[in-house]
Amino acid sequence: MKHWAHNGLKALTSACALSLLATVAWSQSITWLGTLGGNSSEAYDVSADGAVVVGWAKNAAGYVRAFRWTASGGMQNLGTLGGTWSEAWGVSADGAVVVGRAENAAGYGRAFRWTASGGMQNLGTLGGDWSEAFGVSADGAVVVGGAKNAAGQWRAFRWTAAGGMQDLGRLPGGTWSEAWGVSADGTVVVGWAYNAVRQNRAFRWTALDGMQDLGTLGGGGSWAYGVSADGAVVVGRAYNAAGQWRAFRWTELGGMQDLGTLGGSEIKAYGVSADGSVVVGWARNAAGEYRAFRWTASRGMEDLNTTYASLLTPNSWLYIAYAISPDGRYIVGSGYNAATGRSLEAFLLDTGPRCTAHNGDVDANSCVDDADLLAVLFAFGNSGSNLGRVDVNCDGVVDDADLLTVLFNFGSGC
């Protein structure tokens, strides 16, 4: 009787664990997005649900073209404004609005806003001959970027259909500025601008406060590329006192925080999740190689190639992570795809459902019972960033704290 019970418990435990592991494995994937017939591509942004990716890819003639990718439709060439090249840099939350820059018939770059119904719309300039768009609000109504004014100076702009292209000004004594990111509601804009001594400075702009200099990490310059949904967290790169690039995460209370390294001396942050807790970008490792990274306060800086090694084919690498979806699940960028031999190819990384702390209901059936307890016991001692719901408190390890949560809530909802 005891022998039967032991075997039955073991079988039940294994079944629970295998079911959970299968769920995690099924939801994680790396998709190489291909090209438009040429030899390279990069992905710059992703929709909220990971269904739409935008960037640039070379066509068969070797020209760079803006693309919009979906799993069902593949890579769609968005065309140009009459010239030979275009790049897509941002996409709305629902994937319906794409922004970027494209060459017109006269050979000048123009900021564009694309929709399926309206095609590629030229957003104009601030009086000069060039403009480019880098960011778009969640609803697609606000576009930000840089444009030349009549004096030939670059200025950060904020565009709306009603107001057109608004010059966001400059830092005191400076001449140039450019906007790269915008909050979900379009009210907070971030980018870079020259100060009075022509040093680059990351800025944060609002209609109320104007352009705020975010400082540096002790060196001579900084650039902001991404901002959280509410505009409270800004990410980018800055020089430290030793003259090395460092990725930073800025908040009003904490100022500019150095996010560390992967062993090398150059790091650059591009994207940030909606709540500001997850940052992505690229960093050189100890061997000087470019590697895509993800940073969180609990785990610090991690090499995506190490964390998701099981998803990569041999000798393939993720070089740069440019953007992350609002919930932190989807990451896009570029890397080396050994299967195609492309040295630069756009990728979409699905990291699986983001960990959310819960009351011990591991299998999410609204009842904390034996199945949940056994699942935690079977996974006890495991660590990593993709443990699934067995990591009850989402601290990256299945330990006593997770087990106690299940025990304290045992029977809840049953």
Average pLDDT of the chain?
93
Return the pLDDT at 386.
66
**For the domain bounded by 2-24+357-408, which CATH number is listed?**
1.10.1330
Distance CA 88, CA 72 (A): 19
3-state secondary structure of 276: coil
Which of 236, 211, 242, 233 is CA-nearest to residue 223?
A: 236
Q: What whole-number distance in Å separates Cα of residue 59 and Cα of residue 38? A: 4
pLDDT at 395: 86
What is the pLDDT at residue 12? 43
Please state which of the ranges 211-215, 244-248, 313-317, 360-364 shows the lowest mean pLDDT: 360-364
- Among candidate residues 86, 40, 34, 87, the one with its CA nearest the CA of residue 62: 40
Ramachandran category for residue 196: left, alpha or beta (phi over 0 → left; psi -120 to 50 → alpha):
alpha
Mean pLDDT of 159-169: 98
Phi then psi for residue 56, to 5 deg, are: -135, 155
Of residues 383 and 225, the one with the higher pLDDT is 225
Q: Hey, where are the domains in the chain?
A: 2-24+357-408, 29-350
Say what the pLDDT of residue 394 is: 87
Q: Give the closest residue to 216 by CA, choosing from 231, 232, 195.
A: 195
CB 336 within 8 A of CB 348: no
Does residue 125 have a pLDDT over 60? yes
DSSP for residue 340: T
Confidence class for position 6, pLDDT limits 50, 70, 90: very low
Residue 381's alpha-carbon distances to 21, 190, 359, 376, 390, in angstroms, are 15, 42, 19, 9, 11
- Using the predicted structure, report yes or no on whether residue 215 has a pLDDT greater than 60: yes
Each residue's pLDDT tens digit, 39-71 = 999 999 999 999 999 999 999 999 999 999 999
DSSP 348-368: EEE--SPP---SS-TT-SS--
Overall fold of domain 29-350: Neuraminidase (2.120.10)
**From CA 211, how far away is CA 98, in angstroms rounded?**
26
The whole-angstrom separation of Cα 226 and Cα 288 is: 25
User: What count of other Cβ atoms lies within 10 Å of the Cβ of residue 180?
Assistant: 25
pLDDT of 23 > 70? The answer is no
Question: What is the end-to-end Cα distance of the chain in Å, rounded?
Answer: 28
Task: Report DSSP state, residue 299.
Answer: T
Q: What is the pLDDT of residues 279-314, one digit of tens each?
A: 999 999 999 999 999 999 989 999 999 999 999 999
Q: Tell me what percent of the residues of the chain surpass a pLDDT of 90.
A: 88
Residue type, 113: R
Render pLDDT for 88-119 as a digit per residue (tens, 0 to 9): 999 999 999 999 999 999 999 999 999 999 99
The pLDDT of residue 25: 39
